[in-house]
A and B are shown apart, each in its own frame.
Chain A
Amino acid sequence: DVKVTQSSRYLVKRTGEKVFLECVQDMDHENMFWYRQDPGLGLRLIYFSYDVKMKEKGDIPEGYSVSREKKERFSLILESASTNQTSMYLCASSRPRTGTETQYFGPGTRLLVL
């Protein structure tokens, strides 16, 4: 079974703090994704990566950056957290891009920025 783990289930941070969200997958997947999930808006793609050190912006990259130094690990960074970044963050991974591949999701990190 594919396993995608996220470093924290719940996180509380203060405005202006630098926040790191970590995601690790154990299936040697090339692709990794970061989404945020908000009620009524579904999932929105922040960034994705299709290889080590490669990244592409999704639909809402502003205020976020990412790092992929190793194949199994994909980090989401909030350089200076703001209250409008309070959300559920979901990481996902999948096999190489064919368009048909299934994404496997982690359990999510619920971030509260005060």
Chain B
Amino acid sequence: AQSVAQPEDQVNVAEGNPLTVKCTYSVSGNPYLFWYVQYPNRGLQFLLKYITGDNLVKGSYGFEAEFNKSQTSFHLKKPSALVSDSALYFCAVRDRYNFNKFYFGSGTKLNVKP
């Protein structure tokens, strides 16, 4: 079955430290990959996406993500976390050949402590 996994419900990091939020997927072919962020009481906001080309994708607010085809992963990273990065992060995958299929992970709550 097609799916997206975010293995950590919660990630805790100290401000200034690097952060990683993990995502692995199980979708046939070469899917399109997305990261969204949700701040409290808000809708989701787009962070970045991988379509093709360079495996390292840069997005909003200093975030980046690395596509690894062999490991079917698309981990979100940031070199230096801010307290304001604390939010809920969702990985999403879209089937390249079946646009109707759009899968979201269960979300990872990022807590950045001062």
Contacts and interface: CB of A to CB of B under 8 A. Distances in A.
A9 B49 CA distance: 28
Contact of A48 (B6, B96, B100): B100
Contact of A42 (B34, B46, B49, B104): B104
A105 interface: yes
Contact of A44 (B6, B95, B104): B104
Interface stretch (A13-21, A66-74, A79-87, A94-102): A94-102
A8 interface: no
A102 B90 contact: no
A32 interface: no
The number of chain B residues touching the other chain, given as a range, is 20 to 34
A108 B43 contact: yes
The number of chain A residues touching the other chain, given as a range, is 20 to 34
A42 B43 contact: no
A107 B105 CA distance: 19
Contacts of B20: none
Contacts of B72: none
Interface in A12-52: 35, 40-45, 48
A41 B49 contact: no
A42 B100 contact: no
A105 B90 contact: no
Interface of A: 4, 9, 35, 40-45, 48, 56, 90, 92, 97-100, 102-108
Interface of B: 4, 6, 9, 32, 34, 36, 41-46, 49, 51, 90, 92, 94-96, 99-100, 102, 104-107
25 contacts: A4-B43, A40-B9, A42-B90, A42-B105, A42-B106, A42-B107, A43-B92, A43-B104, A45-B102, A48-B100, A56-B100, A97-B99, A99-B94, A99-B95, A99-B96, A102-B34, A102-B46, A103-B46, A105-B43, A105-B45, A106-B43, A107-B41, A107-B42, A107-B43, A108-B42
